[in-house]
Amino acid sequence: MTKSVIFKKMDELVARSAFELRADVRVALEKAARASTDARAKNTFKLILENAAIARKDRLAICQDTGLPVVFVEVGKNAKVDAALISAIEDGIAAAYKKHSLRASTVDPLKRGSSFYSGGITHVEFDESVRGIRVSILPKGFGSENKSMLKMFNPTASISDIEDFVVEAVKKAGPESCPPFVIGIGIGGTSDHALLLAKKAFLSDISKTNADKQLATIEKSLFKKLNALNIGPMGYGGGTSVLAVKALKSPTHIAGLPVGVNISCHALRSASVVL
């Protein structure tokens, strides 16, 4: 595949993620809007949905925090990947951010200084069930990313201990992280892997029930507990606090039980394309 073809695909991918709210997220927001009885909460949902419509129509970013692009490259059977392809994906994303007047939000962590456009953080994975090479972009805003949490539980911890930890994390996120949230949870693996799973959980359709029965039960239980916090849209109370809870798991060590929590704002943005 030539560099220009990859650039074109990344251009479409970036534009879709920045300007078009995901259909499953929009449906969840519409449902939350209908369910809210509080006048201010109702008006807040109206503004959120109006914003999504303006963004799509006028090609304006849904949120000015167009994030640090988190990129998942899933490589399937017989697909060819090398460093040049990954570079082309990253460069294509940075170029698309610039072209579409998104925000240059990347900066040296210590020097800070002038910010620049970047291809973000790329994760390359191999998956035999994928046809070709699937590239997914998750522009991650930092109002919510700043509230990420990790806890290394004892292996004897209960599911209720895990749920308590998630509830604490969401309480801490509070009004700053742009509720109503989607909550990503990663259970197992290593410390870094649990947090990666928590983030990857955002790529799944939030309207669908988890295929893993135990995870589905945890998601359902947490959905109830988190909405009982009454954080509400923008943290004003009086309506839905959490649109969905999505969990992923991975085998871990006999001595541990890492749990990662990642928060997404109501503007959960992502898009995928197959190269």
16 or 40: whose CB is closer to another protein? 40
Quote the CA–CA distance of 256 and 263 in Å, as a whole number. Answer: 23
Bridge partner list, 112:
108
Quote the CA–CA distance of 117 and 125 in Å, as a whole number. Answer: 24
109 or 251: whose CB is closer to another protein? 109
Quote the CA–CA distance of 238 and 69 in Å, as a whole number. Answer: 32
63 or 196: whose CB is closer to another protein? 63
* Nearest approach, Cβ of residue 269 and another protein (Å): 10
* Nearest approach, Cβ of residue 178 and another protein (Å): 4
Helices vs. strands in the chain: H and E counts, helices first: 8, 10
Bridge partner list, 151:
259
Quote the CA–CA distance of 173 and 192 in Å, as a whole number. Answer: 20
* Nearest approach, Cβ of residue 68 and another protein (Å): 13
106 or 221: whose CB is closer to another protein? 106
* Nearest approach, Cβ of residue 2 and another protein (Å): 28
Tokens of 79: 């697909």
How much is the CA Rg of the chain, to the nearest whole Å?
A: 19
* Nearest approach, Cβ of residue 46 and another protein (Å): 10
Provide CB contacts within 8 A for 190, sequence distance 6+: 252, 253, 258
186 or 233: whose CB is closer to another protein? 233
104 or 121: whose CB is closer to another protein? 104
Q: Helix H segments across 100-158?
A: 142-145
User: Interface residues with another protein (CB under 8 A)?
Assistant: 40, 43-44, 47-48, 50-52, 54-55, 58-66, 98, 100-105, 112-115, 141, 143, 146, 174-178, 234-236, 265-267
Could you give the angle at the alpha carbon of 33 between the alpha carbons of 229 and 103, nearest 5°? 85
Contact 64, 38 (CB under 8 A): no
* Nearest approach, Cβ of residue 58 and another protein (Å): 7
* Nearest approach, Cβ of residue 209 and another protein (Å): 26
Instruction: Report the largest interatomic distance among the alpha carbons of the chain, rounded to a whole angstrom.
Output: 55
68 or 248: whose CB is closer to another protein? 68
